[in-house]
Amino acid sequence: MADERARRFEAQLLGRERAADPVAVAERLLAVQAQDLRSARLAVRARTSGLAASDVDRCLDERGLVVGWLNRGTLQLVRPEDYWWLHALTTPPLFTGNARRLAQTGVTAAAAERGVEAIVRALDGGPKTRDELGAVVAARRVPTAGQALVHVLMLACLRGLALRGPFVNGRHAYVLARDWIGPPPPLDRDAALGELARRYLAGHAPADEHDLARWAGLPLRDARAGLLRAAEVTGAPPPARPRPCLLDQWDPVLVGWRSRDALLELYPRREDAMAHYRPFAWVGGRVVATWGFRDGTVTVEAPFVGLPAAAEKALRAEAADVERFLTS
């Protein structure tokens, strides 16, 4: 199990290797969960050296990265060249759940159509923030309270009309997808499933079809078909011990496989699934403490287990780097 953790952390750029920039992180991991953009930024920090949160934002401004609803119905940070084929593979299963949530929030099918039309018209004039789009959607007599607006925006993204691109006055904005990254190219679905499996393994191996299906939000048959077209690279050197690190609550290591048991085996609240998504300190590929960031300062709570002095020193250095990354 320790070897499996080490190999997975190596694949995740949390061993010996680090990526050169945010785009290279997205290339290796394929998709980084980004419903909380801070978590996505910090996922990049942990896998690179010397960058700041503003470097991630600059990649979004310069179209090096985009954010859209893809795998599992969650917002994902991806490269533009990976967006359309991932969209074609992973969004079809999401329409049923989206329609159900729209109905639950009081948005009828007709109102949803009006909302999507209003969003597209507004974005035709350039990037718009969520608040700006909320105003134009509400003007069309479409409910926006609670989560209603989110699910109308999600519908526009699932249809391939909108996605999140640049920042406007410090707020992450939506754009017309075709204008921002071009129209979707023709898709060979079988080849795309093979690419999905190959790229997933590059950032997550060792893993199997159950892990891939869970991560991508696809039926098991699709995961198996993809893996038949992609072979895991063998002959790599033995993995290094995972380096001590501070990762945020939606880091890819917490959502990358179907089970977190081996990662959380030291965590006192491991039986509480709702408590699995926390900012954690990691040593040896296992959770050893939680941490928080407030008023520009990182505080690492008392570890669940005793740690070697070298690991404690490494976590202090990590805390200082998180502070630098978020505040510089």
pLDDT in tens, 155-205: 999 999 999 999 999 999 999 999 999 999 999 999 999 999 999 999 999
Taking Cα atoms as reference points, which of 256, 244, 238, 251 lies closest to residue 286? 244
pLDDT band at 231 (very low <50, low <70, confident <90, very high): confident
Q: CA nearest 304: which of 260, 263, 252, 274? A: 263
pLDDT exceeds 80 at position 235:
no
pLDDT in the model for residue 232: 56
- What local confidence, expressed as pLDDT, does residue 240 receive? 81
Give the confidence band of 1 by pLDDT, cuts at 50, 70, 90: confident
pLDDT digits (tens, 9 = 90+) for 36-71: 999 999 999 999 999 999 999 999 999 999 999 999
Q: Rounded mean pLDDT of 22-34?
A: 98
CA gap 24, 43 in Å, rounded: 12
pLDDT of residue 323: 98
Q: Look over the chain and give the mean of its residue pLDDT values, rounded to a whole number.
A: 96
Give the lowest-confidence range in 26-40, 171-185, 226-240, 294-308: 226-240
Task: Determine the pLDDT at residue 328.
Answer: 85
Mean pLDDT confidence for 209-229: 97
Q: Which long-range contacts (CB under 8 A, 24 or more apart) does 129-137 make?
A: 129/168, 129/169, 129/171, 129/172, 129/173, 129/174, 130/171, 130/172, 130/174, 131/171, 133/174
pLDDT confidence tier of residue 236, bands split at 50, 70 and 90: low
Closest CA to 74 of 107, 101, 35, 18: 35
Distance CA 86, CA 104 (A): 27
- pLDDT category of residue 2 using cuts at 50, 70 and 90: confident
Q: Is the dihedral of CA 69, 70, 73, 74 positive or negative?
A: negative
Cis peptide before 244 (omega within 30 of 0): no
Question: In the predicted model, what is the mean pLDDT of residues 320-327?
Answer: 97
Q: Output the six-digit token pair for 304.
A: 């669940």
Contact assessment for residue 32 and residue 40, using Cβ atoms and an 8 Å cutoff = yes
pLDDT of residue 203: 97
- Over residues 249-258, the pLDDT tens digits come to 999 999 999 9
